[in-house]
Structure 1
Amino acid sequence: MSTAARDAAPAGARDVAGAGADRPRFVPERFAFGCDYNPEQWDPSVWQEDVVLMREAGVDLVAVNVFGWSDVEPEAGRFDLSRLDAVVALLHEHGIGVNLGTGTASPPPWLTTLHPEILPVMADGTTRWPGGRQAYCPSSPVFRERSLALVEEVARRFGTHPGVRLWHVSNELGCHNSLCYCDTSAEAFREWLRARYGTVEALNAAWGTSFWSQRYGAFEQVLPPRETVSSSNPTQVLDFHRFSSDELLGQYRAEAEVIRRHSTIPVTTNFMVTAHQRDMDYFAWAPDMDVVANDHYLDHRLPDPHLELAFAADTTRGIAGGRPWLLMEHSTSAVNWQPVNVAKAPGEMLRVSMSHVARGADGLCFFQWRASAQGAEKFHSALLPHAGTSSRTWHEVLELSRTLDTLREVLGSTVRSDVALVFSYESWWAADGGNRPSGDVRYLEQVHAMYGALRAAGLAVDVVPPGAAPEVLARYRMLVVPELYLVRDAEAAAIEQFVADGGHAVVTFFSGIVDEDDRVRLGGYPGAFRDMLGVVTEEFHPLLPGETVTLDSGATASLWTEHLRTVTAKAVAHHVDGPLPGVPAITRNEHGHGTAWYVATALDATHAAELVCAVATHAGVTPMPAAGPQVEVVRRAHDGGASYLFVINHSDDVVEVPVPGHELTQGVRTETLRVPPGAVRVVREDETP
């Protein structure tokens, strides 16, 4: 049976509450400070030096056995845990907690030699071979059986070990093998479809198979969306993404089930909430995690890497249901997998790390402890670099550790915001499919654009899924909905109810267009949001690359225009030129007790920030003091207790923030905080009368 069909939550289920009340919690006594450790790459004589330096650096959580399968099971069925025993014992003797990996992230060469059928197959039918990592099909019953046998051995041995503080299932599940198109995956996909639709007639209706003579007579005729001579069925592609996310979640659930038979220690895996990972719906995964953990690396292929980092951290907190989370991996400096691997500037590691802490992380971990001398990641930075302890990196690591120690009282607090942004993995999958009105309109870029506008306006942001319950949305004054192309009826109704109850919403173009089956909502765009927005669009007029238009508000815009007419809405700005002069580009509609704004084009960054600032003013939302594109200002607070203002200055100028209180990193009293260029300050705010 397909692991997804057996294990996955019902399609469309969304529960961002995180781990259940009966689950063990990962609650560190201080901000966790840790790393991946790969002692199998080093002679045991090095280990003693490592643990001494770890203690010097304040490292208290070390991930081991993440890629240890070939070491722990050097040949089929023969387990040797002696080296892992020694490493866990050594760390524990030195007071360093263990984040114990199951070791299943990459099959060893003996397994792929014995069972080459487990290797993943791409959409074009080509096989991916051993020699890298994650060379397995997530649907493979052989991989499942062998991997669980390994987990059983490791969990039995260490399930009650006093040094183990956290279980680490696999590693970055789906990082390289999220979509497999082999025959085993095809059968698993068919089982998932049977569970979802029940009958082939229901599948045909959902996929619109009357088009291009695609109607199926039986589930056995269905394949994954392998490469075709023309365009693939878009709903088939969408369902394959859903299936693939569920299949990987099934692997996590199976490993976690084995662990929990032997251990009461919290279990998690490391997510990849980043711009380059779109295949796993982490909102659906969150309920299975005892603590939500994320890996994040600055991506210098993007126009603003620090903005993407902030969005990823806010999204991770949203996936965690607002609770504290753990940064499982980031880098001290350069990575090794981008076209140009840019090193962090002096002080940048501290700022980057504090950006995660400000947004709810209760721990910071790095890949890795000691920079590798061999292998594909030998030029990836580490806590202990090739240059050793005489390096700038090492001294900045010590500084970061000391800074975390000054913030102990912040631990366990949560971020407070009056603004939420709706983010949907399903819309990402569907909106970026083929045969759309414009291939230049990309979902995540539009999400980042609106998030950047909110940040530039100084507005703290929570990130929520479209399935957030009405009582969750009711916590906010303002809701931003960028390019929510795919939306279910209930999800659209919750957003409409938010506005009707007095909320303020900003919806951007190409939203509300299709239902969960990628079926166009007829009657005019923006489909599900027409009544709430009080507009109807008859036709899209996307712009050519490099083409811009002007609005009578003074704004410029690009990418998109649409032939829009107002019904109950009032036009806020019109097109001056382009294909639709005189046609509204921004509208505002009073709906119930609230207001809904529609942005029917891609505004330039300055005017997008001005717009969200104006909406925030109407909504009664106060921007964070001194916040802007180069200055992050975020507030964490304890329930009914102290609040803490984080100020992260990426600019070259001194920043002044009027915030009376006690500055923790320097241990001084402040009335007006002065933050030097490139510095981080955290203020325990005075209680207001």
Structure 2
Amino acid sequence: MAKSIQMDKLRLGVCYYPEHWPEELWEDDFRRMKEMNISVIRLAEFAWTIFEPQEGHFDFSFFEHVMDLAHQYGLKVILGTPTATPPAWLTHTYPEVLNANVDGVLYRHGMRRHTNYSSPKYRELCERIVSNMVKAYRHHPTLIGWQIDNELNCQMDLFYAETDHIAFREWLQVRYGTLDNLNKAWGTVFWSQTYTEWEQVYLTRTMVGASPNPHLALDERRFISDITISFAKLQADIIRELDPHHWVTTNGTFGHIDNHEMTDQLLDFFSYDSYPQFATVRVGDDENPLNDRAWSMKLSNVRSMSPNFCVMEQQSGPGGWVDSKGMGTPRPGQIRLWSYQSVLHGTDLLVYFRWRTATMGTEMYWHGINDYANEPNRRVREVGQIGEEFAQIGELVAGTTYQAEIAILQDYDNSWDGELDQWHGPLNNQSVRSWYKQLQYRHLPTDMITLRPTTVLEDLTKYKTIVYPHAAIMTDETAALLQEYVAQGGMLFFGARTGYKNPSGHCYMRPFPGAVAELCGIKVDDFTLIKGTVKPAELNWRGSSSLPSGTTAVGFNEILHAEQADVVIMAEYASEYYKGKPALTRRTVGKGQVWYYGAAYNEPVVDAILDEIGLKSPVAAYMDVPSEVELGIRYAQEKAYMFLLNYSDKQVTVHVKRPFVSLLDGRVVDKEVPMDPYGVLILEK
């Protein structure tokens, strides 16, 4: 059962750093927050030096004073444990707490996340500061919850300190029991890598060619996830014991953490940090990109952990560190647009980063709602408008949940394995982006879900269609679960390089696509990676829909062979030495269908498939929505609220076929409904 935040209404919050500002500003800040309908502040996640200025000497009076004043203004407080930024005295006295790069060179004080989770000394000191902090504030009337650390594995998700190598060996002994089992799992007979003593085993180290044993590398990422979760657990356990009356969360989805497992084990709900503008500076050569709208895919992933969640940091201004590329100022309306993007996807507590832009430090160009001068600006006015709207609609929308009939399926093992393995990792990035983009442009609400050891059939059958594009690691048990899903009526899509690896990352000695070959009714006769001088083959579509002339099968080309008579060839290769051979197949199994595509999906192929299977937007019968607008629906029993978000810098028009009530202003809309640039429309169904 997924864990959700429990809010009686939509609430606005803001990250506040009183340690950065003179005390004479605090009361005016809190007064203005209340005027803007901001009711929650996040404090203290970087304040270890204030709590413990010298080793063993604690002083919690500063933030107690801040919280007392916040309470006078009716503000509630989220406290962050400060373990992401240890004091200088700590790293100077105990250098063994520092993380190291792959060469074993220590990272030094001056940034954040420069420690390692394995250090017994660091764990001891973290336990002590968290225990004392919880005891100091647990009874304060303004406290509503705890945030563990801040953005676990942000900036750094690889760990090579000496204590990490030791902890890795211990983790492996639990996982494998014996060196014989480890050697088998890692295939160490190759290149005479066989281990005869545990002390010979290390995490990745610098080597010729910079290509580690891939099976070691996969276990390394599993280990990092487990050690990160154990670090969070030591804090969660302290809070649960000393303060069982307040909720516990943590924020951000970063590398090499199974956030689903962490949420299940430790948290009351998951929290996310939403910076949609990141998607606009990482577009690459993508044609017709989603830009900031692409951030909805990340928010969809958070929903799979907590259908209703907290955004602990919502972008409220231009971003950028001193030494990194900056981002432009959000245009008028974009902060409001991005805020409702988060709300659409399940946010019930929205906390802006930050109240006022820092005047010093690495983040002095990471702007907040207020500028340095602390005078009214359009960002303040825009957040004020959102506050007014939350006050109006908050009780109606809180607790409703996003609904989708289509899901893109992923799993941690394939994601981690694909970081190193260029024979399937890039294919997944290509396919997921193409599917999500075209589903967005066609107004088909989509979930991002994660296959886990605990996944059962009922977790899948809520979706009519599932896309699981390049699951290289595939077990017979997973294949059986997916066959059940198809047989009961589901439509399932695979892509190239499916099913050829076992959980250790070894290639199966069985025809591709391995465990799902029988389900798909095919085998792979031949294949080629598309790279360098190897060109992708063109496609000839054989279905009832159309495919633009010259469309190619990108990334990888598998030459398929139908093994079962009921396999239907939906597309063939139209060039290269495998011209005329199957590229895309479809097979009916029970009440459902399974499709297999011997390449990475691109937008023209996804469009042709969507036309072929006839998927329609849930609002198609009573509304025509332009492609620039994201559509999603939050439901609860008899209630349904349709969110329409215009990501365009131009006015667009929504055509409705019957009257609707606009939730934000109470007016009745009918026929042609104009939406301003970056406009937001919420219609009650």
Q: Shared topology, TM-score over 0.5?
A: yes
Of residues 89, 95, 116, the one that matches 1:110 is: 89
Residues 592-644 of structure 1: CA distance to partner in whole angstroms, max 9, x if unpaired?
Answer: 22101112223431331331343354xx8856654565211111111x22111
Residues 506-537 of structure 1: CA distance to partner in whole angstroms, max 9, x if unpaired?
Answer: 11222222121112123222222211212211
Residues 290-329 of structure 1: CA distance to partner in whole angstroms, max 9, x if unpaired?
Answer: 0111112121332233243110111100122xx3111111
Residues 547-598 of structure 1: CA distance to partner in whole angstroms, max 9, x if unpaired?
Answer: 4542113341322211221222221011112453212221111122210111
1:668 is aligned to 667
Structure 1 position 150 matched with structure 2 position 129: yes
2:312 is aligned to 328
Residues 461-510 of structure 1: CA distance to partner in whole angstroms, max 9, x if unpaired?
Answer: 12211233111111121111122222333223211210122211111222
Residues 132-181 of structure 1: CA distance to partner in whole angstroms, max 9, x if unpaired?
Answer: 11120111111111011011111001112211011111100111232211
Distance 1:476 1:218, change over 3 A: same
Instruction: Determine the C-alpha separation between the residues in 2 that align with 1:317 and 1:628.
Output: 25
2:442 is aligned to 457
Distance 1:340 1:234, change over 3 A: same
3-state SS of 2:79 partner: strand
Residues 636-670 of structure 1: CA distance to partner in whole angstroms, max 9, x if unpaired?
Answer: 111x2211111111232222244643211121123
1:66 is aligned to 45
Q: Which amino acid aligns with 2:275?
A: Y
Question: Bigger CA drift: 137-146 or 504-513?
Answer: 504-513
Which runs of structure 2 are paired with 1:346-357 in the superposition (5 Å)? 346-357=332-343
Of residues 489, 496, 513, the one that matches 1:526 is: 513
Kept after mapping to 1: 8 A contact 2:260/2:305: yes
Cα root mean square deviation, aligned: 2.0
Question: Bigger CA drift: 520-529 or 220-229?
Answer: 520-529
Q: Which amino acid aligns with 1:70?
A: T
Q: Which amino acid aligns with 2:268?
A: D
Q: Structure 2: state its 5+ residue gaps.
A: 284-289, 542-546
Structure 1 position 308 matched with structure 2 position 294: yes
Instruction: Determine the C-alpha separation between the residues in 2 that align with 1:218 and 1:615.
Output: 56
Kept after mapping to 1: 8 A contact 2:435/2:601: no
Structure 1 position 494 matched with structure 2 position 481: yes
1:75 is aligned to 54
Instruction: Determine the C-alpha separation between the residues in 2 that align with 1:392 and 1:608.
Output: 41
Kept after mapping to 2: 8 A contact 1:575/1:583: yes
Instruction: Determine the C-alpha separation between the residues in 2 that align with 1:623 and 1:202.
Output: 54
Distance 1:545 1:358, change over 3 A: farther
Distance 1:356 1:79, change over 3 A: same
Residue 250 of structure 1: how far off its partner (Å):
0.8
Instruction: Determine the C-alpha separation between the residues in 2 that align with 1:310 and 1:165.
Output: 28
2:262 is aligned to 285
Instruction: Determine the C-alpha separation between the residues in 2 that align with 1:27 and 1:410.
Output: 12
Residue 395 of structure 1: how far off its partner (Å):
1.1
Kept after mapping to 1: 8 A contact 2:301/2:447: yes
3-state SS of 1:154 partner: helix
Of residues 11, 14, 37, the one that matches 1:32 is: 11
Which runs of structure 2 are paired with 1:8-19 in the superposition (5 Å)? 17-19=1-3
Kept after mapping to 2: 8 A contact 1:649/1:655: no
Instruction: Determine the C-alpha separation between the residues in 2 that align with 1:202 and 1:628.
Output: 57
Kept after mapping to 2: 8 A contact 1:278/1:425: no
Kept after mapping to 1: 8 A contact 2:148/2:235: yes
Which runs of structure 2 are paired with 1:457-606 in the superposition (5 Å)? 457-467=442-452, 468-544=455-531, 547-553=535-541, 554-555=547-548, 556-557=551-552, 558-568=554-564, 569-606=567-604
Distance 1:675 1:97, change over 3 A: farther
Instruction: Determine the C-alpha separation between the residues in 2 that align with 1:54 and 1:306.
Output: 27
Of residues 646, 650, 653, the one that matches 1:649 is: 646
Distance 1:657 1:126, change over 3 A: farther
Kept after mapping to 2: 8 A contact 1:160/1:262: no
3-state SS of 1:319 partner: coil
3-state SS of 2:35 partner: helix
Kept after mapping to 1: 8 A contact 2:431/2:602: no
Structure 1 position 341 matched with structure 2 position 339: no
Residues 263-299 of structure 1: CA distance to partner in whole angstroms, max 9, x if unpaired?
Answer: 12444343333xxx33212122121210111112121
Of residues 408, 417, 434, the one that matches 1:430 is: 417
Residue 438 of structure 1: how far off its partner (Å):
7.1
Instruction: Determine the C-alpha separation between the residues in 2 that align with 1:109 and 1:659.
Output: 64
Kept after mapping to 2: 8 A contact 1:383/1:393: yes
Distance 1:444 1:437, change over 3 A: closer
Distance 1:488 1:45, change over 3 A: farther
Question: Bigger CA drift: 603-612 or 414-423?
Answer: 603-612
Residue 675 of structure 1: how far off its partner (Å):
4.2
Residue 227 of structure 1: how far off its partner (Å):
2.1
3-state SS of 1:117 partner: helix
2:385 is aligned to 399
Distance 1:607 1:52, change over 3 A: same
3-state SS of 2:540 partner: coil
Question: Bigger CA drift: 487-496 or 504-513?
Answer: 487-496
Identity of aligned residues (%): 27
3-state SS of 1:189 partner: helix
3-state SS of 1:590 partner: strand
Distance 1:442 1:143, change over 3 A: farther
Structure 1 position 191 matched with structure 2 position 164: no
Instruction: Determine the C-alpha separation between the residues in 1 that align with 2:619 and 2:415.
Output: 29
Of residues 270, 273, 278, the one that matches 1:295 is: 273
3-state SS of 2:38 partner: coil
Kept after mapping to 2: 8 A contact 1:172/1:269: no
Residues 26-46 of structure 1: CA distance to partner in whole angstroms, max 9, x if unpaired?
Answer: 422321211211111111111
Kept after mapping to 2: 8 A contact 1:456/1:609: no
Distance 1:271 1:85, change over 3 A: closer
Instruction: Determine the C-alpha separation between the residues in 2 that align with 1:508 and 1:525.
Output: 12
Residue 118 of structure 1: how far off its partner (Å):
0.9
Kept after mapping to 1: 8 A contact 2:5/2:308: no
Instruction: Determine the C-alpha separation between the residues in 2 that align with 1:581 and 1:673.
Output: 49
Q: Structure 1: state its 5+ residue gaps.
A: 1-16, 20-24
Distance 1:267 1:221, change over 3 A: farther
1:22 is aligned to none
Residues 39-96 of structure 1: CA distance to partner in whole angstroms, max 9, x if unpaired?
Answer: 1111111111211111122111111011010111001000011111101111111111
Kept after mapping to 1: 8 A contact 2:410/2:448: yes
